[in-house]
Structures are given as C-alpha cells and as structure tokens.
Structure 1
C-alpha cells in the first residue's frame, strides 16, 4: 500500500495539523456560535514570514464554512476590494440591474457594477443574511491604505448593525500594528491580536511522531529529536524537513525512518529553505540593509548590541538606525531588549556567513 506524504511545504497549504493553534481555533468557533458581537469575530494575526499566518487564515475559513458562512479569502495587493465584490456577486442571483459604470467599475460578464462603498457594503450585508460572511485579508503589508479604509469602514458599519460577519487579517508585525493606528481604522484595535511565534520543541516533536505514525511510518525518538532541532520551531521549516525526510524513506520503500533519511532530508530541506525563504527576502533589500544583516551575522550567535553591528559597518548607531528599523519592519530582524537585535528567520545568519566564504 502506497502512503501519501502528509507534509505540505508549499506557501499557504494547510499542514496535516495546526501545531499549537487549537485554542485560537476554539475561540473563533465559539465566537461564531455566540453570534454577532462576539469579540473573537475580529482577528488580527501577525508574525514573520513562514510562521503560519496564511495557514491559520485558511483554518478560520474552514471553521466558518462548516457553520454555513460564505468565506471570501483575498490577498491585500491592489484591487482587493474589487475581488471581494466579484466573489460576493458570484454567489448572488442577479436578475436585472443597471448601474452606471464609474472609474472604479468592475466587469461581471455582461453586467457592469460600480465598486462604490455602498455597493460593496450592500453585497456584504446581503451575504451576512444568507448564513453569515467571513472575509480574510492576507499580506496586509501590501494593501493600499485607501482600500483598507473602505473595507474597514464597511465592516465597522455592519458590526454596528448587528450583521452576521467576521473579519480576520494577517501580515508582518509592523504592518498589522500600522493598520490599527490609522485614524479611520482604530476600531480594529479591539480585534483579538494573535501573534504567531516559533513553536516549542515539545509541540514539534509530538507533531512529527504523530503525523508520521498516522500516515504509515515510524521514527525513533532520537531521530525525531534531530528533526525538531533542524526545524527551529519554524512552521514552514517543519513542513520542509518532514516532507524530505519522508520522501527519502519512501524512495527506499521503507516504513521506518532511518538515520540516512534524516540526514538527507534535513540537507535538502535546508537548501529549499534558502531558495524559498532567505534568498527572496534578501533580494528585496537595499545594499545598506544587506550590509547591516551581514554585519549582524558576523557578531556571532544570539542577540547582538546594535552598537556592535554599527561598528562592524564602520558607522555610528545613529547612522544605521534607519536600516535597523526597516529590517525590523520587514520582520527580518527582531528587537531583543534594549539596544539588541537578532535574526527573526532561522538559518539566515548561517546563509550570510556561508555566502562570504
């Protein structure tokens, strides 16, 4: 009998289980069951790249669908209000409507519908009466602020009207914080804040052993420990490690994970993590931002004083402060107490040092 690889190391794909997210999902389930006005119907999710934000949004959508809600999932790049309106209208029976086109018009086949605030609000309200509506907005750092305000204003109005709606949005920490301080979106400060962090070794170890056992393979505890260490508590890396270790055993047609599978799988997972996470992140940086990261890498393991990083760059902390802030906003480094920083993404230090050899 051929067993399917249970690990899913593709951006946004749901893993076999949402490690450490049970309480968040339970709170959301209860909020939907408790009806309009329940606080956990509004959720803001923050975290670094690859920590599982999109996966959690997907899971919230599955919870809502199971309760008869219409779910609209959109990425936050330009035009997301159009895409929400399109999705809502695809679920409606439209008979005879005639609306004059505008500069914001969107074409729905032979029907032209104006994307005004009133139009999207009415479509959302209509969906909320047909069993409920959940809208999830991903990668909020890419969102045009005018569209965020438009959607936020309509959601706030629906909540005030007692409509059966829920709203969850996700993004990098600085971007999520920036949304809720916008003067027209301060109501989102009341949204439940879920900050996704790295998972504990205990949670990861249990997940590896249980996932493999359920899917038809076994692994000894000491080998599972190696997988835990290689994953660094990082959800996307957990999926990569699990996938390639599983594949190595499957190619030997073995139901037992061996040390050779672990060694090969971890090596391929590290290479994949470099190409899928670290290299794309570095390509978006300015030369000075990359120089800051390389100096931080040379400071050694663990949090480093900002002054030490600046000294390696041949500059003062004042001169490098803007690079530090932008890297924190991009969730590539994190503040670790007063005047100290560290890498937010595992294996970036090793990658940078290796590239200088």
Structure 2
C-alpha cells in the first residue's frame, strides 16, 4: 500500500484535520457573495509547516466546485512595476476565465478596457500588452497604484456579476508584498465590498508587524478576519496519525511531544514510521533518529540551501541573541553592517520581525536544528573594502 502521509511541507495531504472551521467560514463567504451580501474573508498567518498553503488549496478547490473563477497565485517580492506586471497577468486570467474574448461585451469589455489601461505602464513590448488594443483612458492608468488597482477590481467585479459568478483571488506568501502594494489591494477590495460585488481575496503569509499603514487597517479589518494557524491539539494529532496507522496512547504522547502538533512534522513522522513499519507505528530510539534525519534533510535543509555564509552565521547568532544589536555583536559587526543581511533573511522568509523588533524564525523548531547543524557560532571573516584612492 502506498504511504498515506506526505513527506514534504506544502504537499497536499490526504485529509485536513483541525481546520474545519476555516473551511466553513470560506463557504459562508461564498454563500454571502452569491446573494449579494459580502462577508469577511480570511487573512491567514502562521509559521511555516502550519498548513497555510494546504488550506489555501482547499479554498481554491471549494470555489472551483462552485464554478467560481479562481486565480491561484503566490507572491514574490517586486517593485511596484513588477507588482503591476504580476497582477496584470492575474487579472487577465480572471477575465479569460469569465468569458472567452469572442464573448466580451458590456461589463466584460469594460473590464478588458480597464485592464488594458492598467497594463499600459508595462510598455508596448510587454507580452502582456501585445495585441491588446482595448483601453479606457483615464481609468486604471493614473499612476497611483491604489486607484488603478481599485478601478480594475471594480470592473472585474461588475463583469463577474454580469456572468452570474464570482472571482476569488487565492494569494499565498502575502508577506512579500510591500506596505504600499498591500494597501492598494485593500483599498480596491474595500470598494468592491461596499458595492456588494462578487469578488474577494483570501490570503496567507508569515506574520509581519508592518503589514498595513494605520489608515488602511480599519478597512482591512472590515474585509478580513485575521486568523493565525496554530499547532494541532493532542486529540487532533492523534486523529491524524490514527487515520492510517495503529498508535497506542504512549506512542501518541511521544508523537505530540516530538512534533509539537505542527502539521508538517506530524505528517513527516507518520511518513517515516510508515516507511519503517507500515500500518503499525513502532516508536523508539531508531524511529526518533529516522524522524530527525528526515525533517533535517527535507524541511530545514531545504531552507538553508538558499542562505549565504554570512546569513547562516546570522541565523545561528539569532539562536543566542534575537535583538538586532546583540546579534551584530556576536558577529563582531555593527548593527548597521548587519542590516542588509537581516533584511535579506526576511525577504527569503527565514526570519520575521516581532512587534518589538526582535528577530524570530519562521519555522518551528528551527533553533533546535541550527544548534544541531552548527553547535557553535563560526563568525565569517570581514571583507575589507578598498578605498577609492588605494593603489
């Protein structure tokens, strides 16, 4: 029999446990929008391995089964022009899903014109604007990102209403959006909310303390229920493991303690023990070693593969001192010299900044892994910079 557990974080499991309330809330959101009664959507935050991406995929499947237009995307950090380029592509996808070009008329054609104007800053040589001769001068081409995004979202919402369907943007890695870009999306969605149009966004990402400007937060709280995915309870962990294997109570207690209820770790533990013993879980020192080696290789090791030598040292220093000045002191550098390294690690999704400014790891148990992989901090030598007038 094929192993029923998933070995990698982000892979879609055979079943979701402990997330039923989120699915119910999403279904309620679609119910309301279909009746012209907007409801709060969900903005899901949480550490890596908690199942954010898995939950978004579940939302996308629910919407597709109801014949909604689904735009399923992930964000990477871009400047405002790059943001406009990505969302031109996403808006185009939504428009073509609503109706083929041969059937554009009325509100759908108006949406196509708004999209053409929105894409105009990309230039005539962009593949996204080639052969797109529909524009609406003065709409979505002001250069103000929030105003332009709002114009396109309103037009798409009207087109969806015309076709008696809805559009849902399922957006992962939202922490990569800048404050300005997030604000533009919130402003646009707030207008569609007030107009009771069948268009919404459900998103997920790592926690961040600077996600929204104060003036945007009021609108965002009207639009979204900000929820944090937490670890599974002991009972939920037991339900997940016992769905496919026989586990006695002592083994379950060990599994809960070892995984912390992190869904990705529970899946990894089930996967490893299934590979070793099939349908009856056998725990012990050998199982512990196999589990740790699997998680280190497939989960933590994959994260570190993208880190430079100085970034690795910075991560190890954070284990001992999360405050910026203290981290820099351990690295024998000034906080100013370490600032770009810290920012790069935030951009790569390895750390995030708490409200008090201290660094925290985006993956549970990452500090334990770093201590195993690097028992002591090795400080890289500082590169000397040649002065301009040096011979």
Stretch moving more, 227-236 or 88-97: 88-97
Query: Which residue pairs with 2:233 in the alignment?
Result: 200
Counterpart-to-counterpart distance in 2, 1:282 and 1:44: 27
Do 2:48 and 2:362's aligned partners in 1 also have CA atoms closer than 8 Å?
A: no
Contact in 1 for aligned 2:45/2:52 (Cα 8 Å): yes
The offset of 1:173, in angstroms, is 0.6
Question: Cα deviation per residue 1:256-308 (whole Å; 9 max; x = unaligned)?
Answer: 33347x944x54443343234323444555766644542454x5xxx989998
Distance 1:103 1:130, change over 3 A: same
Q: Given the alignment of the two structures, is residue 178 of structure 1 paired with residue 205 of structure 2, yes or no? A: no
- Indicate how the Cα distance of structure 1 residues 113 and 156 shifts in structure 2: closer, same or farther if over 3 A, else same: farther
The residue that corresponds to 2:48 in the other structure is 49
The counterpart of 1:112, out of the listed 132, 141, 148, is 132
Contiguous gaps of at least 5 residues in structure 2: 77-81, 141-147, 376-391
Distance 1:93 1:304 in 2: 53
What corresponds to 2:389 in structure 1? none
Shift in alpha-carbon separation, 1:147–1:83, aligned structure 2, 3 A:
farther
* 1:158 is the counterpart of 2:192: yes
Aligned residue pair count: 337
Q: Partner residue of 2:369?
A: 351
CA gap of 1:197–1:315, structure 2 versus 1, over 3 A, is: farther
Matches within 5 A, 1:204-283: 204-209=237-242, 211-212=243-244, 217-250=245-278, 255-259=279-283, 263-264=286-287, 266-282=288-304
Q: Which residue of 1 aligns with 2:173?
A: 139
Contact 2:183 2:213 in 1 (8 A): no
Shift in Å, 1:192 = 0.5
TM superposition shift of 1:81:
0.6
Per the normalisation by structure 1, the TM-score is 0.74
Matched residues in 2 for 1:94 and 1:50: separation?
40
Tell whether the 8 Å contact from 2:71 to 2:169 is kept in structure 1 after alignment.
Answer: yes
Contact 1:102/1:114 (8 A) holds in 2: no
Instruction: Give deviations 1:171-215, integer Å, cap 9, x for gaps.
Output: 1111xx533327567522331001112223332122211x21xxx
**Structure 1 residues 284 and 235: alpha-carbon distance in aligned structure 2, compared to 1, 3 A threshold:** same
> Conserved in 1, the CA contact under 8 Å of 2:157 and 2:166?
no
Structure 2 vs 1, CA of residues 325 and 111 (structure 1 numbering), >3 Å: closer, same or farther? Answer: closer
Q: Which runs of 5+ in 1 are unaligned?
A: none
Structure 1 equivalent of residue 73 of structure 2: 74
Distance change in 2, residues 1:123/1:225 (3 Å):
same
Aligned-partner Cα distance in 2 for 1:278–1:272: 9
Per-residue Cα deviation, 1:126-156 (whole angstroms, up to 9, x for no partner): 1344322211111112336665455444322
Alpha-carbon offset, residue 54 of structure 1: 1.0
Structure-2 separation of matches of 1:240 and 1:66: 30
Rounded to whole Å, the distance in 2 between the matches of 1:315 and 1:276 is 32
- The structure-2 alpha-carbon separation of the partners of 1:268 and 1:37, relative to structure 1 and needing over 3 Å to count, comes to farther
Of 45-54 and 17-26, deviating more is 17-26
Tell me how far 1:21 sits from its aligned partner.
Answer: 1.5
> Against the structure 1 CA distance between its residues 156 and 43, is the aligned structure 2 distance closer, same or farther, given a 3 Å change threshold?
same
What is the rounded CA distance, in whole Å, between the counterparts of 1:153 and 1:341 in structure 2?
30
Q: 1:87 aligns with which of 72, 85, 93?
A: 93
C-alpha separation in 2, matches of 1:81 and 1:339: 31
CA distance, structure 1, for counterparts of residue 354 and residue 198 of structure 2: 41
RMSD, aligned α-carbons: 4.2
Which whole-Å deviations, capped at 9, do the CAs of 1:42-79 have from their partners, x for residues lacking one?
Answer: 22111122221111111222333333322211111344
Structure 1 residue aligned with 2:386: none
